[in-house]
């Protein structure tokens, strides 16, 4: 085999490998998008939305927010405070909530209150996520029916 033939074979192999790489990358992106479609509704979309909702009903601390979500969902979803507090800090930085230290009970805790910006964001996110939540419910119904009926 001549050097020219070897060079051509190498280029063809590189092209084939690159095309395979692009195809597999597209498959991975599709799988990732599918995961995000349902999973992100809870972690990225639903928790911040629900925290704002809980705070729209009255000021409270992070532990109480987790507890209230657990109560409202009859224990089916109890977010960890390890997820709640960083979220509250982020919402505070974005001016959607205000946190103030309360030591009236001799236990220092930060009490969070939703702001006007937070109330506006709550309404916007409710509208934005309504379709995604409905879609996720439909997906769960189909999967449940397929697996258990």
Give the CATH number, domain containing residue 97. Answer: 1.10.10.10
Per-residue model confidence (pLDDT) at position 133 = 86
Domain of residue 33, residue span: 3-141
Residue 73 in domain: yes
Tens place of pLDDT for every residue, the chain, 149 residues? 666 666 677 888 888 888 888 888 887 776 666 555 555 555 567 899 999 999 999 999 999 999 999 999 999 888 888 889 999 999 999 999 999 988 766 668 899 999 999 999 999 989 988 888 898 889 999 999 999 98
Six-digit token pair at 61?
A: 């601390």
52: in domain: yes
Number of structural domains in the chain: 1
Residue 148 lies in a domain: no
| Residue 146 lies inside a defined structural domain of this protein | no
The CA distance from 122 to 56, in Å, is: 9
Q: How is residue 47 written in tokens?
A: 């928790």
């Amino acid at each position: 085999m001549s050097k020219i033939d070897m060079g051509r074979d190498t280029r063809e192999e590189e092209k084939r490998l690159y095309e395979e790489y692009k195809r597999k990358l597209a498959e991975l992106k599709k799988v990732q998008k599918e995961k995000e479609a349902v999973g992100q509704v809870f972690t990225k979309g639903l928790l911040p939305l629900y925290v704002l909702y809980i705070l729209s009903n009255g000021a409270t601390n992070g532990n109480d927010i987790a507890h209230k979500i657990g109560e409202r969902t009859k224990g089916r979803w109890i977010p960890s405070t390890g997820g709640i507090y960083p979220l509250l800090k982020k919402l505070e930085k974005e001016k959607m909530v205000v946190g103030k230290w309360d030591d009236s009970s001799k236990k220092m805790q930060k009490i969070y209150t939703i702001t006007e910006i937070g109330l506006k964001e709550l309404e916007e996110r409710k509208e934005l996520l309504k379709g995604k939540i409905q879609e996720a419910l439909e997906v769960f119904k189909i999967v449940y029916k397929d697996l258990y009926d």
